Amino acid sequence: MSSLDMTPHALRARPKRGSVMAGKIKVLLSKLGLDVHNRGLITVAHELRDAGMEVVYIGNSLPREIIQAATQEDADVIGVSSLGGAHLTLGNELMEEAKKQGMKERIAFVIGGVFPPADAARLQEIGFDGVFSPGATREQIVSSIRKIVSGIQGPKT
């Protein structure tokens, strides 16, 4: 079994495919902005991989870079992590860029990290489909992503 490479890498061009239709959910993960506290995100990446999802980790990125990477990778889910306090500002920029690119209707957006509990509702208002605070379990994260993706892309046939 190959190990999960958690080193940010140069994006590679690849043919488009429907990963959900192929049976795997493809999740693009990134640290939002310049926040370098990545241990939690790396743990989540391993948990998603162990749950059968394909994971692409791009390291620290700004909203436009995340959207570009998701397009190149044909991702089903964009997951970002924030512990540095810029979750509302950069999260809003991410959702605005996704709307401009017409991605909001076809890709699930989730965010996790450490932020005030009151900000979770605001993150959902700006467009995040899932918001995870510290203590979220593997089962909560995996089942939420599966449910969100199935609602966006419909049942498999």
DSSP 57-102: EEEEE-HHHHHHHHHHHT-SEEEEEE-SS-HHHHHHHHHHHHHHTT
Looking at the predicted structure, is the pLDDT value of residue 1 above 90?
no
Give residue 95's pLDDT. Answer: 97
Looking at the predicted structure, is the pLDDT value of residue 15 above 80?
no
Q: What range defines the domain where residue 120 resides? A: 26-136
Residue 38 covered by a domain = yes
**Hey, what are 100's tokens?**
């401009």
pLDDT grade for 2, boundaries at 50, 70 and 90: very low
Residue 151 covered by a domain = no
pTM of the model: 0.83
Residue 105 covered by a domain = yes
Residue 123 covered by a domain = yes
Residue 60 covered by a domain = yes
Top pLDDT among 14 and 47 is at 47
Q: Give the span between the Cα atoms of 80 and 110, in whole angstroms.
A: 6
Give residue 154's pLDDT. Answer: 62
Give residue 38's pLDDT. Answer: 87
Top pLDDT among 1 and 20 is at 20
CATH number at residue 47: 3.40.50.280
Looking at the predicted structure, is the pLDDT value of residue 13 above 70?
no
Tens of pLDDT, residues 17-55: 444 545 799 999 999 988 778 888 999 999 999 999 999
Overall number of domains in the chain: 1
Give residue 8's pLDDT. Answer: 41
Residue 73 covered by a domain = yes
Residue 45 covered by a domain = yes
Q: What would you report as the CA-atom Rg of the chain, rounded to the nearest whole angstrom? A: 14
Residue 102 covered by a domain = yes
Tens of pLDDT, residues 63-96: 999 999 999 999 999 999 998 888 999 999 999 9
Phi, psi angles (nearest 5°) of residue 67: -65, -45
Tens of pLDDT, residues 88-125: 999 999 999 999 999 998 999 999 999 998 999 999 99
